[in-house]
Structure 1
Amino acid sequence: MPTARELMTNDVTCIGAQDDLKTAARRMAELGVGSLPICGTDSRLKGMLTDRDIVVRVLAEGRDPGSVTAGELAQGEAVTIGADDDAAEILRTMAKHKVRRLPVVDGHDLVGIVAVADVARSLPEQPVGDLIEAISEHH
């Protein structure tokens, strides 16, 4: 079974915890992505920022995205997967936490991102179908 290291996208761009959300939104648009890892000045992962976070937690509340930092939206410890964890563990972690993307860490270093699509390309249909169902369930 493939590991996260074999499935991940290793060209990862972080948004700095001190960067404002206008900068984050521009970077997402430039990269064509819907989420970015939030990294501190120590290059450690602080969380994940999604386009939905910007819309729901900032714009919908009438806050100025130019004055809110990515770090303000980082909620506790980010859910991650180890670089050597296998696809089954990736699926379990995604389902448990209802996420579609996981930062991949090697020790304390962010080395990539693994997405549902990455896992789907490498596995039979049934486990992937079960995952999509699990992360799509409402609380």
Structure 2
Amino acid sequence: MTTVADLMTLGVPRLTEHCTLEDATRALDQSDIDVLPLCDSDGALLGVITRQDISRAFRSLGELASSLRAQHLMKPDAPSIGLRDSVEKAMAQMAIHQTQHLPVLDGAAVCGILTSAQIGHARPKVDIEELIDYVKLPTDPALASFS
């Protein structure tokens, strides 16, 4: 079984909620991914910010975007995945949440990022039945009586 730890990028920059968009842009430019986690002082995930969100802010606001902080653009409800979780679970999370990246957590702390491109490049052997189990919709007992 391939795990998230086998494929993820370790040591991605972790932004603080107080960093500026310019700081976030510099951190993104130094990494080879298009999303970075925003974390509290203990490394716990607060949200994510993407290169696309920052670009959109500068295009629409111009120089006013310089006064924004990363927390103003972060997606606080970003899904995440555990370090020891299976690649099938990660693929299901990405499909369900329509995202191409997941912050990877070791306990409560962010330790890396997993992208759909990493999964694609690695071409891991995937257990289709396990993947299907993760994306199954919960059945409503009230609706089951109608079938």
The two structures have a TM-score, normalised by structure 1, of 0.80
1:6-61 deviation digits (Å, cap 9, x = unpaired): 211112211111000011112211224322111123321111111111122x2233
Aligned mates of 2:40, 2:77 — CA distance in 1: 13
1:42 aligns with 42
CA contact (8 A) 2:48 2:76 kept: no
User: RMSD of the TM alignment (CA)?
Assistant: 1.9
> Partner residue of 1:102?
102
C-alpha distance in 1, partners of 2:30/2:107? Answer: 29
Q: Equivalent residue of 2:102, what SS?
A: strand
CA contact (8 A) 2:2 2:86 kept: yes
Contact between 2:42 and 2:109, CA under 8 Å: does it hold in 1?
no
Amino acid at match of 1:123: P
Q: Deviations over 1:75-132 (max 9, x none)?
A: 333210111110111110001111111111121011111111221213259x8xxxxx
* Unmatched segments (≥5 aa) in structure 2: 129-147
Please list every run of at least 4 consecutive aligned residues from structure 1 whose deviation after the TM superposition is greater than 3 angstroms. Answer: none
Which of these two proteins has the greater Rg computed from alpha carbons?
2
Taking structure 2 as the reference length, the TM-score comes to 0.76
Q: How does 1:13-52 map to 2 (within 5 A)?
A: 13-52=13-52
Instruction: Provide the secondary structure at the position in 2 that maps to 1:99.
Output: coil
**Is the 2:81–2:104 contact (alpha carbons within 8 Å) kept by the matching residues of 1?**
yes
Query: In 2, are the aligned partners of 1:8 and 1:118 still within 8 Å (CA)?
Result: yes
Counterparts of 1:107 and 1:33, CA distance in 2: 23
In structure 1, give the amino acid aligned to 2:106. D
User: Gapped runs of 5+ residues in structure 1?
Assistant: 128-139
What's the counterpart of residue 124 of structure 2? 123
Contact 1:17 1:41 in 2 (8 A): no
